[in-house]
Amino acid sequence: MSARWHALLIPLEDADRIEAALREALAALGYEPYDPFPGGTGTPPGLVDLARCFVAPPDEGWTRVLGEVDPAALPALSAALEAPLIEGWLADDEGGFAVWRDGTRDTSADALAAFLREGRSRADLDGALRSAPAAQMGASALPPDIADLAEARGVNPRQADKLVRRLSGNLFGKLNRQAGGGEDDAQAQARVLLAGQADVWASPAGQRVMAIAGVLALPPNWREPDLDAVRDAYQLRRLRARTPRLPLMPGDQQMLDAVPDALSYRPVYMGRATR
């Protein structure tokens, strides 16, 4: 599973300590640091596994780590910090929260109940956890907004789905055969293009994650800014620090405005060549 959103939420306000512990836990697994940003060393060739994360500035008693971390590093990270880790994730068709404590990962209501927001009950948490996605986004070739439009206009969604699959298969199959790919590759490419910029937080899985977060005592910025926004703004600010007179390209100012304090985020980029 490749998560669209992933974060560790740590009930500590000590970014220095968290960054050092994260680097140490990854180094113990054979990861070595690198710097792919402007002015850095670049990404070494031959890396098999990559950890690409940012440690966010502390906020209201919490510090976030944005990006996916090798799960094998999390028991050591939790032990070094002497604190539990709340892992949150969201993929296209599922998402949730887990607690890492004493070397184990626990997604149960009992584990999450220790972090209930004031005024919220265990019953509230149980209800949020039961709000499982009613439909898997991957079940149809239609993006959610197109599926909704088809339903509103009285179009049979199954027929529309078959038509989209047939058209995408014909078009991308021809292109992919020219490139030496297979039909599965063609379907995957078609799905990506058809999905467009669909908001994963509006999906059933996204709604479930937000329902669970709503009953937990998480920091206000538990999901924003996300990894993509931080990475883009951080890279652009590093570039402009080296070339201040570089003109802004279309969209650059929006990236900078999205995360004005991007340079206060700490990149932890590490990789290893073999497992």
DSSP classification of residue 32:
E
Q: Identify whether residues 87 and 152 lie together within a single domain.
A: no
| Residue pLDDT, tens place only, 135-167 | 443 444 455 556 556 555 555 555 555 555 455
Q: Identify whether residues 195 and 207 lie together within a single domain.
A: no
Q: Identify whether residues 38 and 143 lie together within a single domain.
A: no
pLDDT given at position 199: 85
Q: Identify whether residues 115 and 146 lie together within a single domain.
A: no
Closest CA to 193 of 177, 162, 169, 174: 169
Q: Identify whether residues 76 and 154 lie together within a single domain.
A: no
Domain boundary, last residue among 146, 165, 199: 199
pLDDT at 94 over 70: yes
Residues near 21 by beta carbon (within 8 Å), at least 6 away in sequence: 77, 80, 81
Question: What span, in angstroms and rounded, lies between the C-alpha atoms of 157 and 10?
Answer: 43
Q: Identify whether residues 90 and 168 lie together within a single domain.
A: no
Range of the domain at 156: 138-199
| Residue pLDDT, tens place only, 257-269 | 999 999 999 999 9
Domain boundary, last residue among 153, 177, 199: 199
The percent of residues above 90 in pLDDT, for the chain, comes to 71
Q: Identify whether residues 26 and 115 lie together within a single domain.
A: yes
Question: E-strand spans in the chain?
Answer: 5-10, 32-33, 49-55, 63-66, 85-90, 95-101, 104-106, 266-272
Structurally, how many domains does the chain consist of?
A: 2
pLDDT at 13 over 90: yes
Q: Identify whether residues 176 and 216 lie together within a single domain.
A: no
Q: Identify whether residues 209 and 195 lie together within a single domain.
A: no
Q: Identify whether residues 191 and 256 lie together within a single domain.
A: no
Q: Identify whether residues 128 and 142 lie together within a single domain.
A: no
Q: Identify whether residues 174 and 263 lie together within a single domain.
A: no
Domain boundary, last residue among 147, 165, 199: 199
pLDDT given at position 195: 46
pLDDT given at position 155: 57
